[in-house]
Structure formats: structure tokens, C-alpha cells
Amino acid sequence: MRPVSVFKPGHTCWRTAQANRAAFLVASDAYFTAVLEALPKARHSILLLGWTFDPRTRLAPDGQVGAAEPDQVGQVLLRLSAARPDLDIRLLIWKSTLPIAATQQFFPHAARKWFAGTRIRFCLDDQVPFGACHHQKVLVIDDRLAFCGGGDISVDRWDSWRHLPEDLRRVLPTRALHAPRHEMMMMVDGDAASALGDVFRDRWRRAGLADSDLARPVDVSPSLPDLWPCHVAPHVTNTRVAIARTLPAWRKRRVVDEIRRLTLECIAHAREAIYLENQYFTSPLATEAIAARLAEPNGPEVVLITTGQSPSWFDRLAMDRARGAMLSRLRSADAFGRFRAFYPATSDGQNIIVHSKCSIFDDRVVRIGSANLNNRSLGFDSECELGAGCTF
């Protein structure tokens, strides 16, 4: 059987690019710590895409930076902007509807006052169809280091991989504790980081914002500091990384559904195992593709990790019931006993929110990004993910 690559630029992904190093960051603790170390090294630009953003977010709630250094991300960015007038800092966040913003103390809308009158460009993006959202989560520093995955920088995101039942570091500005939360991010450098910078620049232009001074960094001097966080060992070196997106049909632009195509391609080519971590498993398309593989006598095993119960009443109404129907469909198709679904809990039985969007196929392909396995993420909201691996 000839080897098959599922990463096909222009079809199942936007493009592929070389990453000198890549690492998988488990839980927002790892992500925030890496961000806090990398941001002060920025010399040209800091570019952030998000579904939400809260400048009050503490990047080191365990106090590792010391009392004299701020760890609120808004203060970190303001200090960097003041110290380096040429540093281009842009944050492009979805302009959420007021009912959603009301559940987040009206952030990200309230973040505008943090950066008013500064050189930091904070913009809210509403250039999507009615009912859609911008769900991409990408951070790019100097086009030389980038993060992509399911995690936003907000006050209720931090958790460690231990997911302790009562972790006092998991505290909101109101002093209340927020729920345990499982996240995944992927960190890359090299050309892959620059390609994610292009994702940001494309979104900035789609938002109709002035872009005359929005350009790639040109300084490649060897004297520039290595942005890679010193405490993170790369899991992969010298590999091609694929960037896949979802962008909705909007005005004269056609839908971009690379993630949908890649999802179906990976399911179709898996031989031994399909491992999925996903918050919302409600896509009939993905469900039927997996059901077809479960019906094969020698098809792959399928393991799904998801949230036991969604955190909000709206999600429980809209998603949990639909997810239950999809799980029932897979169980009925599982003629050979190869499907299992699990949800995690803390040691005292507390629900852990599975917010990660990670998929692994045959231990050969890994994908980490912002897309849920639902209809919205596969064709209606904006999404971005990274994929790495070898051929099937």
C-alpha cells in the first residue's frame, strides 16, 4: 500500500511550513508560563487572535515572577509597549454578543479602556455572518514563535494538568474559584510561526482594518534572542506542520472548510486508533464517518474524551443533548466493541471542563487547534489548527 499524506495544501490544509521545534502544551498553566517568558523577548510584533480576552488574566497565579513584576497580561503588554515604542502589538478579538459578554463581566468589550490612548491596537472583530463567531486562538511573537490551540487568555482559563479539586490559583478577579479546565496548545517556531503570522494578517485585513504598516519582520539577525522558552523541551524537531482553517462564507468570500476535509481524511485513513479530545462532539458528518469505520471488521479503535456536563445551561441545552444522540449512534454502530467514550473528573468527583481540541490518528498524525467537532467549527465559525505527522 502506497503511503498517503493527509495534509494536502489547498484541500485539507491551507499550507505546510517547516518548524524547527514544536511542543505540545498541556493545560493553560504550561501555555501561560511559556507566554510570560516569551513576551518580554519580543522586538518586532505581538499578534493575538482570540474568541475572548481579559487583560486582568494572571499568567503566573502561583507567584513565580515575584511581587515586583506584574503578571496580569494587560500590564505586561502595556509595560512592553511603553519600553519599546517600535513594538507592534495588535489584539484582534471576536466582538461577542452582549449576552455572552455579560457572562464574562463584559470582557472583551471592557478591555478597550485598558489600551485606550496607547500604542497597543486592540480591535473587536464582527466580520462574520449573523450567529457566527471568530473562534481562532493564535499568538505570534516576531513571526519566530507562535502558539495555536483551544485556549484563550482569560481569567477562567488557568489550570494545571493535575486539575486539583480546590486549587486556590484557579481564582477569578471576584475571588471566587472557577472550575477545573483541560486545555491544549501547540507551540512552534521557524517558518511555521511566520505562517501563523500570515493567518493573523489575513484576519486583520478581512476585518477591514488599516494594514499599510502590517508587514512581516525583516530582521533575521543572529543576535536576536531565542524566543523559545528555556523550560520547554521540544517534542518534535525539524518537521513539516500543516495549518488548516475554517472561515465562513461572508459577503463575496467563499467558505474555507479545510478542517472539515482534514477531519474526514484522517478518519478515513486511520488503521489502528482514533483518539479524540473535544468539548463538543455533535457533528453528524464526523459521527457518520466514524460509525462507518466502527462497522468494519478490522477498523480502528476509537476513544473519545469529552466533558461530562457542559458548564452553562445554554450549552447543556444546545450541546449535551445533541452529543448524547451522537454517542448513541456510535454505540449502535460499534458491532465489534472498539468504541469507548470517557469524561474526566477530579479526585472528589468534580466535573473537569474538557476544552481541548486534540486528535491523534495511529500515533502518526496529531492535530491541535480551536475547532470543535460540531457543525459550527466545520463551516460556520472561524477556526485554526496545526497538524503534524508522517504518512499513513
* CATH fold for the domain made of 15-241: Endonuclease; Chain A (3.30.870)
CATH superfamily to which 248-389 belongs: Endonuclease Chain A (3.30.870.10)
Tell me what pLDDT residue 364 has. 95
* Average confidence score pLDDT of the chain: 93
Buried b (16+ CB within 10 A) or exposed e, 299-331: bbbbbbbbbeebbeeebeeebbebbeebbebbe
3-state secondary structure of 378: coil
Whole-number pLDDT of residue 316: 72
What was the pLDDT predicted at 66?
Answer: 54
Q: Which residue has the cell 463538543?
A: 280
Summarize pLDDT for 122-144 with one digit per residue, the tens. Answer: 999 999 999 999 999 999 999 99
At residue 4, does pLDDT exceed 90?
no
Q: What is the maximum alpha-carbon separation in the chain? A: 64
Q: Which residue has the higher pLDDT, 159 or 209?
A: 159
Q: Which of the pair, 391 or 277, is modelled with greater confidence?
A: 277
- Give the residue-averaged pLDDT of 206-222: 78
Percentage of residues of the chain with pLDDT beyond 90: 84
Average pLDDT (204-216) is 85
pLDDT of residue 216: 80
Alpha carbon of 168 to those of 159, 180, 182, 369: distances in Å? 10, 11, 17, 28
Helix (H, G, I), strand (E, B) or coil at 13: strand
- Beta strands 15-26 and 45-50, pairing class: unpaired
* pLDDT exceeds cutoff 60 at 65: no
Run of H or E residues at 302: strand 301-305
Q: pTM of the prediction? A: 0.95
Confidence label for 224 from pLDDT (cuts 50, 70 and 90): confident
pLDDT band at 221 (very low <50, low <70, confident <90, very high): low
Where does the chain hold its CATH 3.30.870.10 domain(s)? 15-241, 248-389
Residue 334: Cβ-neighbour burial (10 angstroms; 0-12, 13-18, 19+): middle
- Angstrom distances, CA of residue 36 to CA of 13, 29, 33, 78, 360: 30, 11, 5, 13, 28
Q: How many helices (H) and strands (E) does the chain have?
A: 9, 17
C-alpha to C-alpha distance for 214 and 217, rounded to whole angstroms: 9
